[in-house]
Each structure stands twice: as C-alpha cells, then as structure tokens.
C-alpha cells in the first residue's frame, strides 16, 4: 500500500515554482502576487489562509492578506474586490470561504475578474473547464490531479467514483477525471445525498474520491480491494486528548480502509497540502497570462 504523501508531492511542486520565480526575478521581473481576503475569525480559515501566505513567501511569491471584520457590508467587500481587479500589481485574488451569512457568496465569486480567479470558482472558469478550454481549475481537484501525476497513478479506462457534487471539489473533480487529459479518461460516477445503493457503487470504484465533508464516512466495506482512495475531508473533530482540543479527520476511516487499498491519501498531510500547491500553480499561471 502506498501513502500518497502530500508533503512530498507539494514540496516537489513548490521547488519547481521557486526555481521559476528565481529566473523571473533574476531577469528583473516582479514575482507573482496573490491577494487573499479573509473575513471574520473562523479558526480553520485563519489556519488555511496563514498557510497560503507562508507558502507564497517560501517560493518567492508576493502576497497581500486583507482582513475584514465579520460584520463587513457586502458592498464594501465588493469594492475591495473591484480595487484588486484593477490593481495591475495583483495576479491572483482569493476570497476565503465560507463567508458570513449576510454576504451572498455567488455575488462575491462573480465579482472577481475571471483572469485573476485563481480559485477557479467564477462561472466563466467553471464553464471553460466543462468545455475542455484552458481555465483556472479549482485548487483542490487540481491538487489531486497533481498528486496522481506525482505518484504516477494510472487512471485511463478506470472507474472513478466521486462522493460529493460541490462546485469547488466534487463536480470539477468529476469533470477532470472524465476528461481526455493526463490522469483523466476515467468512467466517472458522481454520488451525493440522494444516491441509492451508495455502498455498492463505491465498491465498484477503482478510484474513490471522498468529498462529502462527513468525518470517517467511508468504511472498509465500501472500498474495492486495490482501489486508489483520495480523501478530501478536513473536519475538525473535538478531542479532549488532542493538543488544540480537536483533531482533523478525513472523510475516510483511514485505519480500516488503508490496508485494502493500492494507494491512499492521509489526512492531514494529503489533499490539503496539494490544494495549496494547486493555488500557487494557478497564481503563476495568472501572472504569465497577464504579462
Ligand atoms: N476561496 C477558498 N479557496 C480555497 O481553496 C479554500 C477555501 N476558500 N475555503 C476552505 C477550503 C479548504 N482549504 C484547505 C487548504 C489547505 C489545507 C491544508 O493545508 N491542510 C493541511 C493542514 C491541516 C490543518 O492543520 O488544519 C493538511 O491537510 O495537512 C486544507 C484545506 C482551502 N479551501
């Protein structure tokens, strides 16, 4: 059984990005610049955004973190986005989700200029992805494709089962795996909350992607012997014995599932780290496209 280690795969990607940035700056060019907007004080969001900012610095990207109060008016947020859209020194814009309830998420996503939408959440990028046109791919599915590439996982002709149909993970993941691209060409089944016989369908998956957001939902009796299991879950579960009072749990019961698999991603240390690698690659792409 192979552990698909996100630390190893993301380190390799970041090393090559760092070299590219060095070449740019040695030639007198500015580095790529990511602007991140973080609203409120959600603990998990703070951790993820801090990690994104730190990893930008590690590879020589410029980053700007804009922090806004939980009760910020939607109109002010939209103004900030508009300002970043028009700032020629900014290549990528990211608004960390989830947003406070009084803010319309769709409006915010659509306010970001598609050419700076390094999250790939704008309908223009989502539509291009569906049509197989060059687009920003949402960072998590992109990171998973990079992971499959790093560990040379063959997918052609395989049956991939994706649990979850969100705009940010499940649906774009299903598009990528079914596309005629490297590490695509799968036959894809998308499962969701209304799926009947979920267990039987999961058992058919040569590749199983768990992206439903329910800690340890996937049990050993749902997984085909020799499958490749990709765990997208990252739920904080209270645990008094843990240092911070919680542990991060994936959507897969790792201990019982892992022995059955050909390869599996751990949580933490798997897909989450690849998500950031995907975001950084998108930011460099945005930079090049804007030159
Ligand atoms: N606009 C937007 N873009 C996103 O890409 C986005 C978002 N909003 N909202 C939330 C999700 C989640 N996400 C993660 C990023 C990094 C880790 C990550 O680095 N995880 C590490 C550390 C986990 C930890 O310590 O909490 C790991 O899995 O090992 C996880 C999850 C990005 N998201």
- Centre of ligand 1 to C-alpha 272, Å, is 5
- Residues 157 and 66 placed together within one structural domain of the fold: no
Atom of ligand 1 nearest to the CA of 44: 26
- Residues 149 and 94 placed together within one structural domain of the fold: no
Counting residues of the chain whose pLDDT is more than 90, the rounded percentage is: 100
pLDDT in tens, 156-193: 999 999 999 999 999 999 999 999 999 999 999 999 99
Question: In this predicted complex, what is the ipTM?
Answer: 0.96
- Residues 205 and 108 placed together within one structural domain of the fold: no
Q: Does 2 map to a domain?
A: no
- Residues 179 and 65 placed together within one structural domain of the fold: no
The pLDDT score that the predictor gives to residue 249 is 98
Residue 51, annotated as binding a ligand: no
Going 48 to 235 to 284 to 289, the CA torsion angle's sign is negative
- Residues 86 and 146 placed together within one structural domain of the fold: no
- Residues 153 and 266 placed together within one structural domain of the fold: yes
Atom of ligand 1 nearest to the CA of 95: 1
Spatial distance between the Cα atoms of 212 and 195, rounded to a whole number of angstroms? 12
- Residues 158 and 71 placed together within one structural domain of the fold: no
Instruction: Report the nearest-CA residue for atom 5 of ligand 1.
Output: 139
pLDDT in tens, 193-250: 999 999 999 999 999 999 999 999 999 999 999 999 999 999 999 999 999 999 999 9
Domain encompassing residue 104: 29-113
The pLDDT score that the predictor gives to residue 151 is 98
- Residues 153 and 39 placed together within one structural domain of the fold: no
Residues with CB under 6 A from ligand 1: 47-48, 51, 94-97, 119, 139, 234, 248, 267-269, 272-273, 275-276
As a whole number, the mean pLDDT across the chain is 98
Q: How many domains, the chain?
A: 2
The pLDDT score that the predictor gives to residue 120 is 98
- Centre of ligand 1 to C-alpha 55, Å, is 12
Q: Does 80 map to a domain?
A: yes
Q: Does 161 map to a domain?
A: yes
CA atoms within 13 A on the CB side of 165: 8
Whether pTM > 0.95 for this model: the answer is yes
- Residues 248 and 148 placed together within one structural domain of the fold: yes
- Residues 104 and 170 placed together within one structural domain of the fold: no
Spatial distance between the Cα atoms of 160 and 175, rounded to a whole number of angstroms? 11
Find the mean pLDDT for residues 16-37.
98
């Amino acid at each position: 059984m192979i552990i698909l280690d996100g630390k190893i795969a993301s380190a390799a990607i970041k090393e090559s990005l760092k070299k590219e940035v060095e070449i740019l700056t040695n030639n007198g060019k500015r580095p790529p610049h990511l602007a991140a907007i973080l609203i409120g004080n959600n603990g998990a969001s703070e951790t993820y955004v801090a990690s994104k900012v730190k990893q930008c610095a590690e590879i020589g990207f410029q980053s700007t973190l804009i922090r806004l109060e939980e009760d910020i008016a939607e109109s002010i947020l939209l103004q900030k986005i508009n300002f970043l859209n028009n700032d020629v020194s900014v290549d990528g814009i990211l608004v960390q989700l989830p947003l406070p309830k009084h803010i319309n998420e769709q409006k915010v996503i659509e306010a970001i200029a598609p050419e700076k939408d390094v999250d790939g959440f704008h309908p223009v990028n989502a539509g291009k992805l569906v049509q197989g046109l060059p687009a920003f791919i949402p960072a998590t599915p992109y990171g998973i494709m990079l992971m499959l590439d790093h560990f040379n996982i063959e997918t052609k002709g395989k049956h991939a089962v994706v649990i979850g149909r969100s705009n940010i993970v499940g649906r774009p993941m299903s598009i990528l795996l079914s596309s005629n691209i490297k590490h695509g060409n799968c036959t894809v089944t998308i499962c969701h909350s209304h799926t009947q016989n979920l267990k039987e369908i999961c058992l058919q998956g040569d590749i199983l992607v768990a992206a439903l957001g329910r800690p340890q939902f996937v049990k050993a009796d749902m997984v085909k012997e020799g499958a490749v299991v990709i765990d997208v879950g990252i739920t904080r579960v209270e645990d008094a014995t843990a240092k911070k009072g919680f542990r991060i749990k994936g959507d897969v019961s790792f201990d019982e599932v892992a022995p059955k698999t050909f390869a599996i991603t751990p949580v933490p240390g798997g897909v989450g780290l690849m998500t950031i690698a995907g975001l950084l690659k998108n930011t460099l792409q945005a930079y090049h496209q804007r030159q």
